[in-house]
A and B are shown apart, each in its own frame.
Chain A
Amino acid sequence: MIAKVLLSIWMTLIIVAAFLYADAAAGFPGETSRILFFHVPQAWVATLSFLLSMIASCIYLARRSLKADNLALSAAELGLLFCLLATVSGSIFAKAAWGSFWNWDPRETSIVILLMIYGAYFALRSAVGDADKRRVFAAVYAILAFVTVPFLVFVVPRITASLHPENTMNPAKPGMDPKTLKVFLGSLLAYTGLFIWILRLRLRLLKLESMQEPEFVVREKIDQEGERQ
């Protein structure tokens, strides 16, 4: 409860600071550089949830625990959501900075592939009737999809040079002024907190849903009878 309130205050502060406290970076048309405080954390969370979903899938295949599958599913759902947000916000920036909403920049290509992988993941989940089979297949597909990602890192930069602003705005390199860096790191924290909060809500919901399933009810009854005896 307290964490939720703190998160909302923190998020509000970040939004205000992103527009009022940090200065617009030089070399970008107008105020467009402020996209950094929203777009990059969204892309970061989309990547984080992809990784989390893959790890949870591995754990599911090893232990067959329902919890791990729920985590893989909810991470993938949130990954899709943040992936869409990052695509849309990036596209708006592309229109303002490069003149077109979509130009198959390497970054745009890789995010579209990520979207397609998430879409395929949910298509697979909805197409398999048997619950155990569905969980195993989804886990296997998540791992396979994750394995192909490193190839994109090698392959995609070979197509064209990217216009993506990294050199001027990457925090690891000199060039980001301290104010921007502060707000940026705060925003990363806020988005990660938001992700964890929604993830926990989704996991609770999935747990409650699974309690409604007949097999769970039967198992509960057997457990209760066992306790009585």
Chain B
Amino acid sequence: MKNGRWITETGSSTYLSEAVAIWLRDLRGEFRTRYAVNAILMFAVTTLIAVSFSIGSFRIGEAEQPFLYAVLLWIILVFSALSGLSRSFVKEEEAGTMDVLKLSARPQAVFLGKLFFNLTLLGALELIIVPSFILLMNYEIELPGFFAAMVIAGGIGLGGGTTIVAAMIAQASARGALFSVLSFPLLLPLMITAIKGCEKAAVGANNPGWPEVRIAVAYSIVMIVMSLFLFPLIWEE
């Protein structure tokens, strides 16, 4: 369970080394099974193709494009994330490795490791979906830097808001449906902000200080800090 390379000779380990060990272990498992990647990416690609096929790049008028494309992009990203992010904890429950994990690392380290893993998945998702979306839909963006910052900050918020929910639903029944039901109300403020930000980036609006990115970053920090506080309670229950 613990990777020898990440524990010092004396046997002591820090929160970060434990978190990194869990992150690398999950990544290795993911490379072997490719379950979460397949689930999330195929969901995202299917949705993207469905959207692109049914709307095309000329159906929506020029004036409406910045807003409607931002909405479509974030619906694809959020629901793809909701389709597979719970996997990080559900697989522990299904494989019966939950108890060993509880013994081998501190709760906050487990949370951070799973958060890193989910953020890696989200990064891969955005790296593939966002450029494809821009190409397929002919999405013209005036401020690429702001757009990229918004997408990255939104992705961190998605991971920060859903990881603790994944830990809860892994121990409940009706997991798949419950994950979306519980996560969506928590993610809604983030989603509205991200849509607004992407719309402004596409229009090229004068937007000093990037308030949408700052809201998304603040949201991520609040959710991650609250999760670090609350996670030990649900983990040791």
Residues on A close to B: CB < 8 A? Answer: 61, 113, 116-117, 119-120, 123-124, 127-129, 132-133, 136-137, 140-141, 143-145, 147-148, 151-152, 154-156, 158-159
Instruction: Kindly provide the distance from the CB of A59 to the nearest chain B CB, expressed in whole angstroms.
Output: 13
Contacts of A147 in B (CB 8 A): 222-223, 226
Decide: A144 and B178 in contact? CB cutoff 8 A.
no
Fill in one digit per residue for B156-199: 1 if any A CB lies within 8 Å of its CB, else 0. Answer: 00000100110011011110001001101110111011001000
Q: Per DSSP, are chain A's interface residues mostly helix, strand or loop, or mixed?
A: helix
Decide: B164 and A154 in contact? CB cutoff 8 A.
no
How many A-B contacts if CB must be within 8 Å?
A: 91
| Chain A residue nearest to B187 in the complex (CB) | A148
Q: Which of B38-46, B112-120, B229-237 sits within the interface?
A: B229-237
Instruction: Kindly provide the distance from the CB of B60 to the nearest chain A CB, expressed in whole angstroms.
Output: 20
| Chain A residue nearest to B236 in the complex (CB) | A136
Fill in one digit per residue for B197-212: 1 if any A CB lies within 8 Å of its CB, else 0. Answer: 0000000000000000
- Complex Cα distance, B222 from A119, in Å, reads 23
Decide: A137 and B223 in contact? CB cutoff 8 A.
no
Residue tally, chain B, CB below 8 Å to A: 32
Decide: A129 and B173 in contact? CB cutoff 8 A.
yes
- Complex Cα distance, B183 from A116, in Å, reads 10
B111 at the interface (CB under 8 A from A): no
Contacts of A137 in B (CB 8 A): 168, 171-172, 234, 237
- Complex Cα distance, B233 from A113, in Å, reads 26
Instruction: Kindly provide the distance from the CB of A83 to the nearest chain B CB, expressed in whole angstroms.
Output: 13
Instruction: Kindly provide the distance from the CB of A120 to the nearest chain B CB, expressed in whole angstroms.
Output: 5
Contacts of B233 in A (CB 8 A): 61, 136, 140
- Complex Cα distance, B193 from A158, in Å, reads 9
B146 at the interface (CB under 8 A from A): no
From known contacts A132-B237, A136-B237, infer whether A151 and B215 are also in contact, taking CB-CB under 8 Å.
yes
Partner of A152, one of B173, B184, B189, B223: B189
Decide: A124 and B192 in contact? CB cutoff 8 A.
no
Decide: A127 and B192 in contact? CB cutoff 8 A.
no
| Chain A residue nearest to B196 in the complex (CB) | A158
Partner of A123, one of B181, B192, B218: B181
Instruction: Kindly provide the distance from the CB of B29 to the nearest chain A CB, expressed in whole angstroms.
Output: 26
From known contacts A147-B226, A158-B196, infer whether A140 and B168 are also in contact, taking CB-CB under 8 Å.
yes
Partner of B215, one of A116, A123, A154, A159: A154
Contacts of B237 in A (CB 8 A): 132-133, 136-137
Partner of A117, one of B178, B185, B227: B185
- Complex Cα distance, B230 from A113, in Å, reads 22
Decide: A155 and B193 in contact? CB cutoff 8 A.
yes
Decide: A143 and B192 in contact? CB cutoff 8 A.
no
Decide: A127 and B196 in contact? CB cutoff 8 A.
no
Decide: B178 and A123 in contact? CB cutoff 8 A.
yes
Top 7 A-B pairs ranked by shortest CB distance? A151-B189, A127-B172, A116-B185, A117-B185, A128-B172, A140-B230, A120-B182
Contacts of B234 in A (CB 8 A): 136-137, 140
Contacts of A141 in B (CB 8 A): 165, 168, 182
Instruction: Kindly provide the distance from the CB of A23 to the nearest chain B CB, expressed in whole angstroms.
Output: 39
Partner of A148, one of B169, B171, B189: B189
Decide: A159 and B192 in contact? CB cutoff 8 A.
yes
Instruction: Kindly provide the distance from the CB of B149 to the nearest chain A CB, expressed in whole angstroms.
Output: 17
